[in-house]
Amino acid sequence: MATRKLLRATCRLCPIALLLILLQSSILPQSARGQGLEVNGAWAHITSDSGTDGFNVGGAWWFTKHITVAADYESSWDTSTLGTFAFTETGPIAVKSHLQSIVVGPRIFFSTKWTDKYKLNPFGEAQFGSAHLSQDVTANMSTQSASDTSFAWLVGGGVEYLFTPHWSGRTNLDFMRTGFANEGQSRLRFLLGITYTFGSRERKTSTATPQPASHKTVTAVARSQARVHITSSPSGGEIYVDGKFHGNTPSDITLPVGEHSLRVVLNGKEWIRTLQITPGDISIHAGFTTP
């Protein structure tokens, strides 16, 4: 019965998730569409009902570097008693709780130069869906069971730390609201987990063919604006332009016309060039692989 109810809730949420994903291929302009599919898993703790512990799995689609639509499934359990020496006339009482939820909603990331420098990615989120709670109450060798399914919503946020352009660690703290047994319940949800992003979190625009680099100077001439796409092999190198940190490779940065000093640092090695920038889209590649 509990499984069937949860499946019905999933079926109601799937069209919503599909509609949101279709936005990426129709309503949003080409320059705003992302290309990154994310999967994640986490340990979960939910307050109320004596506190339940379990797991959370989910996925998200990166529409842009800052906007995703996420879907999460959660399952957590708890067994509580009145205590070792707390007995009633019917004997000790034990309560087993199993809380499940499926929610879908937007997750918005906020970044600054400071957060980019320290590879932090704070975010806020709001999700809506369905929750199912089942409980078994055992007293004097007799067990009674009850369950209910209700609408659920949560708001909150958290922060992630980028290990690489694809792997990150993430923690969430959300306020969660359910309505079991025609009553409202307030809960806090804490997640601690890891994520993996396929592809890129930000759509990359086409760039001009990179020009050969000399030993000391790279002369970059392109067509319109001074937009520089910097990559490295391997990726993940720290980018410094005129001594200032500009994130990790691969990255797109905008530079004023003129001479600039570019330094890419990776695993203790440095790749240094002097750039003569003229208006246009250009591409620079720092190669660390030994020939």
Amino acid identity, position 167: W
Per DSSP bridges, beta strands 185-198 and 67-81 are unpaired
pLDDT digits (tens, 9 = 90+) for 89-100: 556 778 888 999
- In sequence order, what are the beta bridge partners of 60? 38, 70
Check whether 83 has a pLDDT greater than 80: no
Phi-psi region of 91 (alpha: psi -120 to 50; beta: other; left: phi over 0): left
What is the value of pTM for the model shown? Answer: 0.59
Domain boundaries, the chain: 2-198, 217-287
pLDDT digits (tens, 9 = 90+) for 169-189: 999 999 999 999 888 999 999
Q: How confident is the model at residue 81 (pLDDT cuts 50, 70, 90)?
A: confident
Secondary structure class of 48 (helix, strand, coil) = coil
The reported pLDDT for the residue numbered 221 is 44
Q: Which two tokens stand for residue 259?
A: 């001479």
pLDDT digits (tens, 9 = 90+) for 29-70: 444 344 589 999 999 999 876 789 999 999 999 888 889 999
Q: Which two tokens stand for residue 61?
A: 């689609």
Average pLDDT, the chain: 79
Sign, Cα dihedral of 8, 9, 12, 18: negative
Report the alpha-carbon distance of residue 197 to residue 14 in Å, rounded.
21
| Domain range 217-287, CATH class | mainly beta
Check whether 217 has a pLDDT greater than 80: no
The reported pLDDT for the residue numbered 20 is 45
The answer to whether 179 touches 153, Cβ cutoff 8 Å, is no
The answer to whether 254 touches 222, Cβ cutoff 8 Å, is no
Q: Which residues of 9-42 are buried (b: 16+ CB within 10 A; e: fewer)?
A: beeebeeebeebeeebeeeeeeeebbebebebeb
Would you tell me which CATH number, out of the four given (3.30.43.10, 2.40.160.20, 3.40.50.300, 2.60.40.2140), belongs to the domain 2-198?
A: 2.40.160.20
9's enclosing H/E stretch is helix 2-23
Secondary structure class of 181 (helix, strand, coil) = helix
Q: How confident is the model at residue 82 (pLDDT cuts 50, 70, 90)?
A: low
Report the alpha-carbon distance of residue 107 to residue 155 in Å, rounded.
10
